[in-house]
Amino acid sequence: MEKVGAAEPIAKVSSIFIYPVKSCRGISVSQAPLTPTVLKAPGMDVLKVSLSAPREIADGVSMWEWSGSALDEGNAASKWFSDYIGKPSRLVRFNTVSETRPVEPEYAPGYKTMFSNMYPYMLISQGSMDALNQLLTEPIPINRFRPNILVDGCEPFSEDLWTEIKIDKLTFLGVKLCSRCKVPTINQDTGIAGPEPNNTLKKIRSDTVLRPTRKQQGKVYFGQNLVCKSFLTGQKGNVVTVGDRVYVLNKVSSTDEAAA
């Protein structure tokens, strides 16, 4: 582990994306509060979801290894999603009052998330995206990878090595390289899947290439999973803004040393 310090920024935040509903379209915003409303789809009326907590409880909700209860957003939201998707659906909200979903304790003990796949934040650099697109016959947009934070100004894949960074006044831990499933192969506008970019990622971003001395898991990696260290210290004013400078405080020397 190399302690770098924060003398000069290594990059800046170029885009921020939020995902109000898991697996639905991301929304680009100029700033976002880091806290644990309106939905639309082609041919559908706008669904307005109140920000106040629902009263109904839905039991038997599961997300990977976690299962528990959630807050049910009601029949209007249920009908909207059921009509659009074509099968019975309920829109639910994570119940932070009664439920806890910790991240993997071996990587970030004490931290938790809600309905995100594994971790609450994921960061990718524009340099990494540009390097990948140079290898693809048809370049793809960043929305294929569904990050929360896109940074620019650093070398391609340098985020692989970051174990602690500071964005403005907030400190994040880079806890684990982000292993990719088939979602990046799906066009986010059409829903149609293809072989790329995963075929190319297997050639340049696999265990064999990045982590040759580690146990091979047959995975490919793109991006860095983060938790916000400031949450455990009780820091307030948790807002990330486009243009914020990124400082690297600690990093490893190679991807072979990175957690994954």
- 19, with CB counted inside 10 A (0-12, 13-18, 19+), is middle
Between 131 and 231, whose confidence is greater?
A: 131
Instruction: For residue 73, give its domain range.
Output: 37-95
Q: What is the pLDDT of residues 9-21, one digit of tens each?
A: 999 999 999 887 7
Alpha carbons 64 and 117: distance in angstroms, whole number: 8
Are 77 and 141 part of one and the same domain?
no
pLDDT range class, residue 52, cuts 50, 70, 90: confident
Torsion of CA 33, 237, 158, 251, to 10 degrees: -140
Q: Report the share of the chain in percent with pLDDT over 90.
A: 59
Are 225 and 199 part of one and the same domain?
yes
Are 240 and 192 part of one and the same domain?
yes
Query: Coil, strand, or helix at residue 30?
Result: coil
Query: Which residues lie below 8 Å from residue 207, measured CB to CB, with a gap of 6+?
Result: 214, 216, 217, 218, 219, 220, 260
Are 198 and 236 part of one and the same domain?
yes
Token code pair at residue 44: 């559908």
Asked whether the predicted pLDDT for residue 35 surpasses 60, the reply is no
Are 157 and 222 part of one and the same domain?
yes
Are 222 and 146 part of one and the same domain?
yes
CA angle, residues 208, 213, 216, in degrees to nearest 5: 45
Per the structure, the count of domains in the chain is 2
CATH number of the domain that 220 lies in? 2.40.33
Residue 260 covered by a domain: no
Alpha carbons 108 and 121: distance in angstroms, whole number: 13
Q: What is the DSSP letter of 9?
A: -
Are 127 and 161 part of one and the same domain?
yes
Beta carbons of 250 and 4 less than 8 angstroms apart: yes
Which pTM value belongs to this model?
A: 0.81
Q: What is the pLDDT of residues 190-241, one digit of tens each?
A: 889 999 999 999 999 999 999 999 999 999 999 999 999 876 655 555 789 9
Residue 53 covered by a domain: yes
At 65, the amino acid letter reads E
Token code pair at residue 221: 């990696």
Are 82 and 211 part of one and the same domain?
no
Are 52 and 141 part of one and the same domain?
no
Are 106 and 171 part of one and the same domain?
yes
Residue 13 covered by a domain: yes
